[in-house]
Amino acid sequence: MRRFVLLFALIFLSCEKKVVLHFEEIEKPKKEVSLKEGIDLFNTMRFKKSAVFFLKNLSEFPDDWRLNFLSGLSLLKTGKFEYAKRYLSRAIELSDELKDYIHYYLAVAFFENGELEATLEAIESLKSFTDSAVLCDGLLLRVKTLYKMELYEEVIKSLREEYLPICPVKAETKVLELKVYCKRGEFEKAKEVFKEAWLRRDFSLREFDDVGKECGEEEVKKWMTKEMVREKMKRLMDEERWNDVISVGKRFFNEDDPLIQFFMGKALYYMRRLRDSKEKLEGSINALPLPLRCEAEFFLGKIAERSGEENAVDLYRRVYERYPQCEFADNAFFKIALIKKDENLFREFIKRFPNSELISDAQWEIAWFLIKRNDPSSVNYLTPMTTYQQKLNLKAIFWMTEAMRRNGNSDEANKILKNFMENASPDYYWVSGSFYVKEVTFPVKSEEDRYFNNPLPNAREISALLSIGIFELIEKEVRHLLKNYPERATEVLYYISKEYPDFIMLLKNAPLSFYYPLAYKDSVFRYSEDFSLDPYLILAVMKAESSFQRFAVSRANARGVMQIIKPTAIFISSQLQMENFELIDLFLPDINIKMGVWYLKFLIDKFSELVPAISAYNAGPENVSRWCSDFGDMKTFDFIESIPFSETKDYVKRVIYYYAVYKNLYSPPFEPEKIFKERACVK
């Protein structure tokens, strides 16, 4: 009996234990994989590391379709096509989400692996997704596959019957077409297609080399003319694609063609390669036609001015003396007046060039001299400016009332200012006016609930893409929606703007408030608290720096949403003890914002006032320290107008205006007295 009781007790305890364990398994929350680290690696093009991350997590979550897709995509980017196929195929089996994207990238893996029949099969599956952002990519891949299979008649047929009816013409499609003509020996047809393709914006030297490889370099050279090279470079200049201008110029450079040298010289100037620019311009100047010779002379003056050379004035003087009818003659004279800071030269400018577009600028410069002397006659120069376009109108009205106020007529000044603020769209000068006139309400309000009455197009697709977070795919979807659903563009972009505000500037005719999203909200508010800074100031700086674009790169190689250059990044990372920091991390918004906010706080602590700190964020603390020494005792209004770098002056005005908009939208009131002080810099 005792044995039976003991046996029963053991069985009971064993069953109880099993029940408890089973209960614990039910109650235990399911572990979820975090994709963020891998996504960050992928978005910053560290594909090998992202592949390792996703594959490591896949061993624990083998049935997660996202991990299979992201593993396959990372492996595809690293050239591991055989492995990529395995994981992309598995992702298709596991879920119905993003099947169009997965089919497309699976087709790419087959194509790169040389499995052409399988490529065509995968694209056939993609064709059923008629409203897909990657359908045109898939159809173009089909054309490339047919070309690789040497089915040249099918290439032309597929282009004309499948691709072109629904997809945009690309340089790549033109290249495929002309390569088919070359393969068939139809060189005249190929030549005509080449001429059309050459002037396309997306036709680069890579496409040119591809054509030469298939059609023969000597044959392609016969198609090229000097006029074609010139026209290509001219279009590149109009588009401000300076690197491409140089690349085309170098490839087709001819010592006998001064126009190509001239284009290269101008491009080099804008790339800030001043010595090279000077060499090209001086080498071409004597052989240029008269109007371009004048322009080249003017640019030589600009190079000298930017280089700090003493002969800049002489070079500018040569422009208007040698070429008095040249379109740059007035500009050259105006430059001399600016360099010499000579009030009388601006007066002479108005007499000599009465029809110049720079007349209002000359009037402003004269008025500014008079304002600084508290001379009431400044109003005589400011009043005519109030009839010009709105931007100049607002500036003139504000400073006209400021001059009146400084000469004891505050009541009349405030009446004029109030009337102007009630009827004008807000800008920096409107915000400046709010320092004096408090009763006019800031005319910007939130309108985020204006839309969103109907389901968004491709809402499920967008949600799936946002949950994964691969920027390349989100960008594809956004551009597809903008093209195919333009009437829904505003709500689509606003829908994603809090996480992906990079595209907000693509909006057309949206309410003003839509251009001021709470971008990267979690990061901004977290670091604003950590470093004791107003989050809306951070957003204003970010908007001015990059328009929220995480992959923004400036001409000075400043990177990311808060545009941090390499030396500053190294300094900040050492101060924050970021041991594993890499420069490519600047393209990660969270890291960039953390570093940018710390640096902005560092500058505010250094200068003790907001405007010098904002100025230093753009121009560097050394320059601002010098300005504070030279004219820091001015009022803030005057200090801003006196900033010698036009880029920095405009930047500071934009940040102040954006800050006012953000505060009035999300955390009123904006307090202008915290920005505009009697003395700009602390002693």
The residue among 428, 463, 487 that closes a domain is: 428
Is there a domain that residue 128 lies in?
Answer: no
Q: Is residue 164 part of a domain?
A: no
Q: At 660, which CATH number? A: 1.10.530.10
CA distance 142 to 119: 8
What secondary structure does DSSP assign to 4-23, as a single string?
HHHHHHHHHHHHHHHHHHHH
Question: Does position 329 have pLDDT exceeding 80, yes or no?
Answer: yes
Are 562 and 482 members of one domain? no
Please identify, among 494, 515, 536, the residue that sits at the C-terminal boundary of a domain: 515
Shared domain check, 655 and 535? yes
pLDDT, one tens digit per residue, over 413-436 is 999 999 989 988 899 999 999 999
**pLDDT over threshold 70, residue 174:** yes
Looking from the CA of 403 toward its CB, the CA atoms found within 13 Å total: 24
Residues of the chain above pLDDT 90, percent = 80
Q: Are 384 and 495 within one domain?
A: no
Tens of pLDDT, residue by residue over 583-635, are: 999 999 999 999 999 999 999 999 999 999 999 999 999 999 999 999 999 99
For the cut 80, the answer to whether the pLDDT of residue 5 exceeds it is no
Closest by CA to 108, choosing from 133, 71, 134, is: 134
Q: Provide the pLDDT for residue 447.
A: 63
Region label for 639, one of left (φ > 0), alpha (ψ between -120 and 50) or beta (otherwise) = alpha
Q: Whole domain around residue 475: which residue ranges?
A: 448-515
Tell me the average pLDDT across 489-511. Answer: 81
Residues 587 and 549 grouped into a single domain? yes
Is 485 found in the same domain as 423?
Answer: no
The answer to whether the CB of 277 falls within 8 A of the CB of 245 is no
Residue 219 lies in a domain: no
Q: In this structure, are 667 and 527 located in the same domain?
A: yes
**Confidence at residue 451, expressed as pLDDT on a 0 to 100 scale:** 53
Q: Does residue 238 belong to any structural domain of this protein? A: no
2 pLDDT more than 80:
no
Given this model, what pLDDT does residue 459 score?
Answer: 82
Instruction: Looking at the structure, tell me whether residues 527 and 511 fall in a common domain.
Output: no
Burial class (CB in 10 A: 0-12, 13-18, 19+), 523: buried
670 lies in the same domain as 525: yes
* pLDDT, tens only, 386-412: 765 555 688 999 999 999 999 999 999
Which two structure tokens, joined as six digits, stand for 180?
Answer: 């088919």
Which two structure tokens, joined as six digits, stand for 422?
Answer: 């009630």
Beta-carbon-side half-sphere exposure of residue 254 (alpha carbons within 13 Å): 11
pTM, two decimal places: 0.89
pLDDT tens digits, residue range 511-525? 788 889 999 999 999
Q: Using one digit for the tens of pLDDT, what is the confidence trace for 534-592?
A: 999 999 999 999 999 999 999 889 999 999 999 999 999 999 999 999 999 999 999 99
Between 377 and 14, whose confidence is greater?
Answer: 377
Judged against a pLDDT cut of 90, whether residue 207 lies above it is answered with yes
Per the DSSP assignment, residues forming a β-bridge with 553 are 559
pLDDT at 17 exceeding the cut of 50: no
Residue 66 lies in a domain: no
Report in angstroms the alpha-carbon separations of 545 from 183, 329, 557: 50, 34, 13
Do residues 630 and 604 both lie within one domain? yes
165 pLDDT above the threshold of 80? yes
Q: Is the pLDDT of residue 142 over 90?
A: yes
Kindly state the average pLDDT of the residues 210-228. Answer: 92
Mean pLDDT of the chain: 91
Same domain, 504 and 526: no
Structural domain contains residue 652: yes
- Give the residue with greater pLDDT, 410 vs 24: 410
**Is the same domain home to 527 and 656?**
yes
Among 484, 515, 546, the domain-final residue is 515
Position with higher pLDDT, 392 vs 384: 384
- Both 492 and 551 in one domain: the answer is no
How far is CA 252 from its chain centroid?
Answer: 31
pLDDT score for 163: 97
pLDDT number for residue 454: 66
Q: Rounded distance, CA 228 to CA 197, Å? A: 11
Quick one: average pLDDT of 440-464? 73
The stretch 10-32 carries a mean pLDDT of 39
Residue 437 lies in a domain: no
One-character DSSP codes across 524-567? HHHHHHHTT--HHHHHHHHHHHHTT-TT-B-TT--BTTTTB-HH
Is residue 576 domain-resident? yes
Domains held by the chain: number: 4
